[in-house]
Chains A and B, each alone.
Chain A
Amino acid sequence: MRFRFAVFTTRAVNATSRRLGRGRGTVAGGRSGLKVDPQLLQHLTASRQVVLVTGTNGKTTTTRLLAVALGAGGATVVSNETGSNMPPGHVAALAGDRRATVAVLEVDEIYLPRVLSATNPAAVVLLNLSRDQLDRTNEVRMVSGHWRAALAAAPHATVVANADDPLVVWAAGAAAQVRWVGAGLRWQLDAVGCPSCEGRIAFDAAGSWACVTGCGFVRPDPSVTMSTGGEATGGEATCGEPTGGESTGGEATGGASATTYYGEWADGRSERIRLLLPGRFNHSNALMAAVAAEAMGIAVADGLAAMADVGEVAGRFTTRLVNGVRTRLMLAKNPAGWSELLDLVGNDDGPIVISINARTADGADPSWLWDVPFERLARRVVVATGDRCRDLSVRLHYAGVAHVMESDPLAAVRIAHDGHDGHDGHDGYDGYDGAKRAERDGGDDADRTDRERVDVIGNYTAFAELLQASVPAPVGT
């Protein structure tokens, strides 16, 4: 009885909240429901197959890809797609769809132990662990330890774990059933201290690792590894948006051939990972999702085929209009995420807007900007914006990156666009003009498939703000 009233409350508060225009209401409804029935998460997952996805980066994308893959098997799948990844968000999503037999839940790193014990999941996906929101989670190694204890107490869950991240391996090492995936790890600095013996982890050039102190903590042999194939030939996933519209193509909008990605299984199988989503990291997320889907009974090829059609995840990577300007919105909120994204945007030569906030959801301390190799943007003209554009400006200054500072994100997008077009709306900024000239002289016009489009990268709330202010780009513009 209490359970049914809690479900009713969750849905009613969400509906009211939506009607009042106070956002999607997922958190408000979930909180109310959990007040009525503190065991609501247990009750809402008791008769479903549950898969949890967690990690510092890639949670939302992997959750989405996995939900799509599991749906390919014919199951009805419920997921917390809005990114509300703590119990109120889980409860809201689950209460909103009582018929779905499968639940794919994105889980905040800190909340994994709680959600794990409440939901008795069939599978848990562990992507990576690195510094994020420094003022909230100052010790990622402690998080790894908490995961480890929680997984040791969940013997029925199949853990799909990134073998390339020592902190993930430490956590998954206590689990009863693990499928190790060589998913890659671009940012290794948070994993140098051995979580097993306090010694030192050494990585080799190929990304393999071992504790050099000799405690025996080494990279486990993965059952599947992501590999990059030769350069793609022909038009396959090489150029973005030949006709405009919502779909985004491969990562090489600068015109270079896109890399192709494969999952290579230890038993000899090989599967091409084809995605509309760009970047090494998204292909790595897809492989993790495919392995999790396989654990749930979906053939790898079927899972991957279903993921291939996903063109955007929570507004990321699509072409949208912001302040009338065609943009590609992207999210990067910590050094690890930035390291991956710079691979994607670092070789382009168009204008780029970077928006940095330090609100509660971002963490109040943006000193992580100094861990990001912004030097790699030296070819691009950057417009620094957001609440903390001054922190970013100082960082870019020392990185030797020409930039303009404009605290209003919408105006910043306009400046990036106008400056790029050569319609100079702001005379007198010599450095910017010089940088534009350098960009014009150095850039190869023919290489760009969408010269009008401005790349926009924000951290958590900065991205959300820009997404909120954007509309889908009309086809053909």
Chain B
Amino acid sequence: MTTPLRIAVVYPDLLGTYGDGGNGLILARRAQWRGTEVVLAQATSDVGLPEADIYCLGGGEDGPQVRAARSLIEDGTLTRRAGAGAVVLAVCAGYQIVGKTFPGADGMLHEGVGLLDIATAKGSGPRAVGEVAGEPSEDAPGALPALTGFENHGGTTTLGPGVTPLARVVYGVGNGDGSGTEGAVSGRVIGTYLHGPLLARNPALADLLLDWALADGPVEVPPHDPASDRVVVAPFDDSAADALREERLAATMGSRRGRVRLRRRR
């Protein structure tokens, strides 16, 4: 690539409650490890959204979430860029606002950006708070391994025919509409309730997004010897992330205790 890869963290002043800025950082680092030049923008809400190849949206509180949606619709850049093939990763409140409707603090339904054919309503039960594990659904893009993350949301999201679910929930709540699904995908737009942040726990998903944005196909990752528990990691070494994934997935999918807790939470 001759031009740098442009990554924008969308409105970190409104949408960044759950360390979601980490997703942008992780994408930037992994692209740099591939030898790609990167521009990582923290695109605050007081200025127009910059042109970018990848947009990351994170979680936010109810009030700021409404402001973010309104501002993104007025600005128009996100819709235009997504239509032109830019990658969008939308997490939690960000996931809700790239859909068609979402609930605000006032209990009213607000208009979303409309990149995904999903509708979110206020859930009737307690907030979904806790670990999530999911198996990528068959029609999800790429060949992703199990997804792990942490959810914290009050809304339930229903998927329309224009999207496919990102994953089938193995542990936790996810979309919470009774379908047992988590997240939604349409083209190069991915929405999910998983934070942690998402890409820290799921580097394969980060690489898939970079493959899309760079359009240069999957990159061979040199093997690493995970000989020790005490590791100093070097670029392209995912031993730290692998250890984290193993721990989190064991805490949810693997253990008997996890299954018991799963039943209770549902």
Which A residues are in CB contact (< 8 Å) with B201?
394
* Interface-side segment among B12-20, B137-145, B209-217: B12-20
CB of A192 within 8 A of CB of B228, answer no
CB of A395 within 8 A of CB of B200, answer yes
CB of B21 within 8 A of CB of A404, answer no
CB of A435 within 8 A of CB of B232, answer yes
Min C-beta distance of B216 to chain A, whole Å? 22
Give A136's nearest chain B residue, CB to CB. B129
Tell me if A430 is interfacial: C-beta within 8 Å of chain B: yes
CB of A193 within 8 A of CB of B63, answer yes
* Interface-side segment among A98-106, A294-302, A360-368, A450-458: A360-368
CB of A398 within 8 A of CB of B232, answer no
Which B residues are in CB contact (< 8 Å) with A367?
18-20, 22, 150, 195-197
In chain A, residues 393-435, which have Cβ atoms closer than 8 Å to a Cβ of chain B? Answer: 393-395, 397-398, 402-407, 415, 426, 428-432, 435
Bound-state CA distance A212–B44 (Å) is 14
Highest count of chain A CB atoms <10 Å: which of B230, B234, B241: B230
Count contacts on B: residues with CB < 8 A to the other chain. 45
Bound-state CA distance A407–B243 (Å) is 12
Min C-beta distance of A192 to chain B, whole Å? 4
Tell me if B114 is interfacial: C-beta within 8 Å of chain A: no
CB of B17 within 8 A of CB of A200, answer no
Tell me if B244 is interfacial: C-beta within 8 Å of chain A: yes
Min C-beta distance of B45 to chain A, whole Å? 7
In chain B, residues 187-241, which have Cβ atoms closer than 8 Å to a Cβ of chain A? Answer: 195-197, 200-201, 228-234, 237, 240-241
Tell me if B64 is interfacial: C-beta within 8 Å of chain A: yes
CB of B14 within 8 A of CB of A138, answer no
CB of B16 within 8 A of CB of A429, answer no
In chain B, residues 105-134, which have Cβ atoms closer than 8 Å to a Cβ of chain A? Answer: 127, 129-131
Min C-beta distance of A135 to chain B, whole Å? 5
Min C-beta distance of B53 to chain A, whole Å? 20
Bound-state CA distance A271–B25 (Å) is 43
Min C-beta distance of A209 to chain B, whole Å? 13
Tell me if A141 is interfacial: C-beta within 8 Å of chain B: yes
**A426 contact from B16, B230, B237, Cβ within 8 A:** B230
Give 30 CB contacts A-B under 8 Å.
A134-B17, A135-B150, A138-B127, A189-B13, A189-B16, A193-B61, A198-B66, A200-B45, A200-B67, A364-B150, A365-B18, A367-B19, A367-B22, A367-B150, A368-B19, A370-B22, A370-B25, A370-B200, A371-B21, A394-B240, A397-B241, A398-B25, A403-B232, A404-B230, A404-B231, A404-B232, A405-B231, A415-B230, A426-B230, A429-B230
Leading 10 A-B pairs by shortest Cβ distance: A431-B232, A370-B19, A370-B22, A367-B19, A390-B244, A192-B13, A393-B240, A397-B233, A394-B240, A367-B18
